[in-house]
Structure 1
Amino acid sequence: MIPPLYILRHGETEWNAQGRLQGSFDSPLTSRGRAQARAQNRILAQRDLSASTALSSPQGRAFQTAAIALEGLVADIVTHAALREIGLGDWAGQDRAALIAETNAQDAFDLYELAPGGEGFAALHARCGAFLDQITAPSVLVTHGITSRMLRLILTGQPITALRDIAGGQGIVFYLENGIQHQLR
């Protein structure tokens, strides 16, 4: 059984604000992104994290968010490669709207599946499932938009086809226990 988890998405980055896909590339947090991470800190400060492990994607935007969101709440943040964002192959760094217009994508979600050299949802699902199988203690996970959704999809027992339907967002915290998700604000 997977222990209780808090799952956070990194704060807004410059590329988020510009509508660019990031994938394995990185972009710094905006002032709004740093404010979103401080909001996550306020949310988490209301919880008892004394028995929790803090794990972050090694990508800069997530680790910077983790440092702000967990400041004064946990002693150490450990990076874990499984929490990185879905790979976008040749489309990392590209303009989201332009790619949607140039391809058969109905929306940005399709881009993650269609990206040449990208990871795709099935591989991300396998990566996230294997990671969750390793979790043995209550944890705070700081990750990315699509990876966060996939983790929460698995934890709530939904199929990959429900990925578009699971809530996302920056500056909020998702708490998952016993297959039930709660959005904390």
Structure 2
Amino acid sequence: MHLPELYILRHGETVANAEGRMQGGFDSPLTAKGEAQAHAMAQRLADQGLAKGAFDVISSPQGRAMRTAEPIARLMGCDVQTDTRIAEIGMGQWAGLLLSDIVERWPAQYENESVLEFYRRVPEGESFDSLWARTGAFLSDLTRPAVVVTHGFTSRFLRAQVMGWGMDRLGEVPDGQGVIFAFRGGQQTILK
């Protein structure tokens, strides 16, 4: 897949992240730390010398991603575009629950699975195949360099596909808040 220059990042820390809650479609405001991460990532992108108007800023429509994208768009001199295909994976019955509550209610599943397999089996949650398909369709439609503001799982799925990997390698894709994953000429650089 030939892609334009991309910068993929996860939204800043949310209240739900700090509390250990699953989000998915459940939204939560950014914490003060999350706001600081959003501004720091915007500055880090500005420090890369990205030409104003040369990049689109595309965000998940979920509030936490939009709030992270806003300072980036301001520094880049553009509006935030939204795309539902980069919203977070649907967490079904787990949306809004604390991880400790999930472990208590589904103990065998948690104890016997890898982290990714644990999430693959969310009751009434979105399938990995569905997330893979919609993130792949999003990437296929990109024609201009872009800063993409998304979520933890969605970011992993996007980056695996950008690197030409399959779902079997998702566990090798690093994660992190406050981190920007830059893709230029087929090479990944992590901007911290």
| Structure 2: distance between partners of 1:108 and 1:20 | 15
Q: Does 1:135 align with 2:142?
A: yes
Q: How many residues align?
A: 185
Equivalent of 2:126, from 119, 122, 139?
A: 119
Number of the residue aligned with 1:74: 77
Quote how far apart the aligned CAs of 1:107 are: 5.0
Distance 1:89 1:150, change over 3 A: same
> Which runs of 5 or more residues in structure 2 are unaligned?
none
Aligned CA-pair RMSD = 1.5
TM-score, structure 2 as length reference:
0.90
Number of the residue aligned with 1:41: 42
Quote how far apart the aligned CAs of 1:110 are: 3.1
Equivalent of 1:157, from 164, 170, 183?
A: 164
> Which runs of 5 or more residues in structure 1 are unaligned?
none
TM-score, structure 1 as length reference:
0.94
| Structure 2: distance between partners of 1:129 and 1:100 | 31
Equivalent position SS for 2:155: helix
| Structure 2: distance between partners of 1:70 and 1:107 | 37
Among the aligned pairs, what percent are the same residue? 44
Equivalent of 1:100, from 98, 103, 110?
A: 103
Q: Does 1:87 align with 2:53?
A: no
Quote how far apart the aligned CAs of 1:116 are: 1.5
Quote how far apart the aligned CAs of 1:178 are: 3.5
Q: Does 1:21 align with 2:22?
A: yes
Number of the residue aligned with 2:10: 9
Q: Which range moved further: 111-120 or 15-24? A: 111-120
